[in-house]
A and B are shown apart, each in its own frame.
Chain A
Amino acid sequence: MTAMLTAEGLGKRYGRRWALRDCTVTVPAGRVAGLVGPNGAGKTTLLRLAVGLLTPTAGSVEVLGSQPDSGAGQLARVAFMAQDAPVYSWLSVADHLKLGAHLNPGWDDSMAQDRIERVGLDPRQRAGRLSGGERAQLALTLALAKRPELLVLDEPVASLDPLARREFLQDLMGIVAEGAVSVLLSSHLVIDLERICDYYVVLGGSRVALAGEADEILASHVMLTGPRRDPGALPAGQELIHASHTDRQSTLVVRTSSPVLDPAWTVSKLSIEDVILAYLRQGNAADRRPALEVLR
């Protein structure tokens, strides 16, 4: 199956600042992929490059096997929902659907109308008067009704209250359950993604820090706690991601392909969020000189 997204050394520079750099990752199709990282890490840049709103300064990107700017056909296969769900404030909800119908050959109008009714939007309401959650639902409807193969969502729930957030994700997962659509969404809140993502791409410092299937990430990372000692003495096959020490205790996050047998360590499992944070801290530590240890 063609990959959802293939990036090779992808980079984007604004003036002298690289918003994204050396991004090489292949995200398989049919997944719900989460793009995580702190603010300013390049998530929005990567998503905009994927949908053709930006062109790369370096490297290349392919989406569903084609270049993002290869024309109307490619645009029809990919749907994008930008941060804060921009809509035309002077158009009504119904007019937005009309817009979608005019501009997309694959538009499914009955699905769009049904969805608007189901999420409780008033078709005659001007989009400028919708709440954040309603705008997000409108933008999602516009994205879904063109029947894309790939849905790209930039922080779709960031400005939603918890109930609206849950409803949005419920809807999104319902749609994924129905059809052959891949999803790539970004968030700086991992907790939202843990429920729904089965693939993760972690950006730290505008680079890819970690990428892989959720199950595999969970299976291959463990937390080791034990008496304070130098983590440099790890056996082969185990890679230190992040270490923190108090005066008596060391805590390591380690990537390993085999069980840890050293009796001095207590081995515990990690959540996805813990693993991601460890990689982000690793990235930060490498950037700062001298490297700091986290002391509690």
Chain B
Amino acid sequence: MIWLSWRQFRAQAAVIGLLVAAVAVTLVLAHLKLSRPAAGSLHIESTESWHVLQLLGTALVAVPALLGAFCGAPLIARELEAGTQQLAWTQSVTRNRWLAVRMCVVGLASVAATEIFALLLSWAARPADAINKNLFGLGVFGERGIVPAGYAAFAFALGVAAGVIIRRTIPAVALTLGVFIGFRMLFSIVIRPLLIAPVRAVSSLNARAAGLGISNRPGSPGLHAVTVIPQSVRPGDWVYSTQLADAAGHPISNHISPVPAACQRVEFQRCMSALSRLHLHQVVTYQPASRFWAFQGLETAIFVALALALAGLTFWLVRRRLS
């Protein structure tokens, strides 16, 4: 049974193995370059290694989707298409055991491959992450820590279930890709912010707190309004929103009108003093950087739970919806 699963996905396993090896080598080199930046290099974002990391990070987004589609969907769909389930399910192994072993072997292999990729990437990107401090960023959070394993488990279970429902490999592959990518995006943008209630902090803005900035409205002589550019509370925190508030804490518009005279004359220090006399406050809704692992854990748990639910559905379907 284990031998059969291995034989069936031998080709895919070889490809993935090669890719993981190639990725590992690339990442090791990138990490080495990043930790010892060449003399005279500018900001880290302009180095070639950083671009490589970005590229691999993007690739890692696709990895669970592809594994789910090309290892998960054919697992059962291909049997049903070829009619070989009539052979497989009449050997001396019960259907449940057959399904359980195949799902575990191939599923765990997919999860492991994805997670190895992610761990290598996290390790290689550590110098860059230390500088950018952007772990909650949309392009970063999903490619660090343990969530990639959760995505891989979910994508795989989704693929297998799609294969059982549709019973044909190619439509199941398409459905898996579509649903996974859609759900992943939905989760990252809409659901993740809701997982833990954010912290709401009110702090006063004065000339010493670096919370004010001035910008011109382009194309107009002089200033019409001052826009306060919010600064994040601390590097690494995940800011949902910032809002200007008056001395009583009521939110006001980020545009200040009328513009203080000093600001109209673009005298920075005087402008700052004028603005600080308005006793402005800033309300920041954010997640502290320390909650990174809590979010990782929650998101992984949710995706794994979904994977288990889909696996349960698959077992039920295989038992009830008999060829």
**Of A94-102, A209-217, A284-292, which stretch is located at the interface?**
A94-102
**How far is the CB of B132 from the nearest CB of chain A, in Å?**
46
Q: Which of A84-92, A229-237, A246-254, A264-272 contacts B (4 or more CB under 8 A)?
A: A84-92
Cross-interface CB contact of B92 among A51, A90, A104, cutoff 8 Å: A104
Cα–Cα distance between A104 and B94 once the two chains are bound (Å): 11
Given contacts A48-B323, A82-B83, A84-B83, contact A75 B90 (CB under 8 A): yes
* B89–A53 CB distance below 8 A: yes
For the complex formed, measure the closest distance between the CB of B288 and the CB atoms of chain A, giving whole angstroms: 53
CA–CA, A293 and B3, complex, Å: 61
Q: Which residues of A (100-125) have their CB < 8 Å from a CB of B?
A: 100, 102-106
> In the bound complex, how far is the Cα of B85 from the Cα of A69, in angstroms?
15
Query: Inside 8 A of B8's CB, which chain A residues have their CB?
Result: 88, 90
At the interface, yes or no: B247 with Cβ under 8 Å from chain A?
A: no
Structural contact, A51 and B84, CB atoms closer than 8 A = no
Cβ of A46 under 8 Å from chain B: no
**A55-B322, A95-B7, A99-B4 are known contacts. Are A146 and B92 too (CB-CB below 8 A)?**
yes
**Inside 8 A of B91's CB, which chain A residues have their CB?**
75, 99-100, 103-104, 146
The answer for the CA separation of A271 and B180 in the assembled complex, in Å, is 62
- Chain B residues closer than 8 Å to A52, beta-carbon distance: 89-90
C-alpha spacing A99/B5, complex, angstroms: 11
Say yes or no: is B86 at the interface (Cβ < 8 Å to chain A): yes
CB-CB < 8 A to A100: which residues of B?
Answer: 91
Q: Which residues of A contact B87 (CB under 8 A)?
A: 82, 86-88, 139, 142
A86 in contact with B82 given A79-B90, A103-B1, A105-B92 (CB within 8 Å): yes
List the interface of chain A (C-beta within 8 A of B). 48, 51-55, 71-73, 75-76, 78-80, 82, 84, 86-91, 95, 98-100, 102-106, 139, 142, 146
9 closest cross-chain pairs (CB), A and B: A82-B86, A103-B91, A86-B83, A76-B92, A80-B90, A104-B92, A86-B84, A75-B92, A103-B93
Q: List 17 A-B contacts (CB under 8 A).
A: A52-B90, A53-B86, A53-B90, A72-B92, A75-B93, A78-B90, A86-B82, A86-B87, A87-B87, A88-B84, A88-B87, A95-B7, A102-B1, A103-B91, A105-B92, A146-B91, A146-B92
